[in-house]
Structure 1
């Protein structure tokens, strides 16, 4: 089963170079499992035992099963994750022609590690809005093949490179796409029109706008002398999205279960489809009873916010509290912060730990060093909007926010197992 989950994750990562593609891949798998798409612009008719999903902005998705037991009596079992990852986004007027090369200006999305983007075989994917026969529409595109690279400067020309240098995002990160000849002019929108035609058979009168990101074409893989690791792009946090999906599909239909995968976590979550926006509450209010019953339901519910945790790196052990250094392949991590950067409390942590013990899943704890700042995730934001009890957890990883991250090859199966048990649990604390 472990190998099956790992290969499924690798396939999912390949299909999901952007949040738009990740959402489409999740929706495709949900539809194949009998979930019905709900259009936010149309009336909804839901019933006990039904399976449904909703998307917004093509980049966030909420899937839910309505159990045979009323959610007002049994509560909701919610798992939350996010679809976005740090990357390089193409600017609106990106064409750069310098020294005979065609380059694209890029904007950094989220807290990316810059150095790993150099010398990688890059492709481009995302959403394009265009006009065809007078009608404005949007379409996802993915060039798939390597079309760009950001070459490093040779050590001979930058003798201080190994002593560290500040990478300038404006001048040093524009990828090279081609070498131009003579008076040849670069036209990025024409390139996108050609891609729409070749990939989807569409004839765009005009490319109006786009949201496009570069990504590394090297496929994710199980690696290591003993195949101990999964290496790949966007493990933060598509790994959690995939684990939540597998758990939702495996859970029986007795209880009401929700999977929410929001966009924009890496940039603060404040958007119409982010965790600091109204999407989840609006969806739940359309499904659950109003007023007093809604509050009763939420207060009987629990959210497991799943986002990757920092594993103890053997080259940098002093970056962790000595008693709270999560290890790869040692199970999911309960994330705790007394300043509410994580929404975990003793009751929710205790319940998650109980689930792990009952299902023979190893479990760990993470608290950041007292002299270091702490990141955050969707847990506190969702808890703040809904008033739902929350535990923040995640699988330990190395190189978070790099173009290629590393996780343990045993841990995905651990996470799927405990999340399935959570969705199945007849009683919440």
Structure 2
């Protein structure tokens, strides 16, 4: 077999011979450098992936024997990279931080719409996966990227496989995947092109720095058993206004949504009502309330008033917010398909000094297991109620001594609201019962 760049009888002087890709990418096991480095060759194959550069060309070319990365810093030779194209290329064989490349000096387009190979399923990426289309199943983030989307700047993101091996996902700012939604399940599957950026900048190259470069959102798939299905909000309607007055704090607001289930028909185990200021993204919500496992929940206006007071929504003020529901089942999390606008008008009138006094009443310990105590009550004046998240009043009494031990022995573990009322002044404190 001739080495790349050599000329046989009958070839045109100066035109490199055509080779199968496998013939030119064999790597020296000591240096990490292709044996054919510096030689010239012509290759013919199918384009995989996208142009990884804004200028010039960087993509993968594969034939039936293997793959190699094509590269030119500034020139694209009038060719626009498109996956599935068949092209013929010529250039010099090189390497960049362990990755075998062909430095282009010619591109000839021959056809389009060619069939790609089925991704090879591998456990991790290494020297054998360079410039190959591979699939790794059941990976999870080491540290989930900030926000809801894949980064829009070129980034390395670490995941681990089932054997706890670390794999680096290289998300490029030139890819269609950049800026698209992250998977919401604990584990997911990824397809992409194998690559390498060795920690060594010159030969001999360390055999490390292997990466997988996904192309589009379709390269990220979830395990159906690890997903929760989409669900929608029902009530209150979008742009509803909740009016809070002294006379209606015992009224309820009906929250409802379609049930959230997984592919096996198992319902979410917990729902949480989440409220935030309009224009925010729910990353640090103004109010959260675990509503249980039902898709219907009655929220008392007293609860909403407590939220309003704790967030500085004073008498006469209008709060413009957004709300949605979070569904959870074991480690799975999914938010409702959309959020809704809501307006809360606080028209509750009360004495500021009396409200401050009630707010200063201490509730401890919190969380509580066997008993909780209120300190600072005025005997025969302050009325105390313990309310469950469903709105059910578990206890209601008028304070007698200044310190009151709350009757929580018979309560199930969960969140309760302790409402303290003096005339028209009301303060609601949250109590966790363990």
> For this structure pair, what is the TM-score category when the shorter chain's length is used for normalisation?
under 0.3
Decide which structure has greater strand share: 2
Structure with more contact order per residue of length (Cα contacts < 8 Å, sep ≥ 6) = 1
Using structure 1 for the length normalisation, give the TM-score. 0.19
Q: Is the radius of gyration larger for structure 1 or structure 2?
A: 2
TM-score normalised according to structure 2 size: 0.19
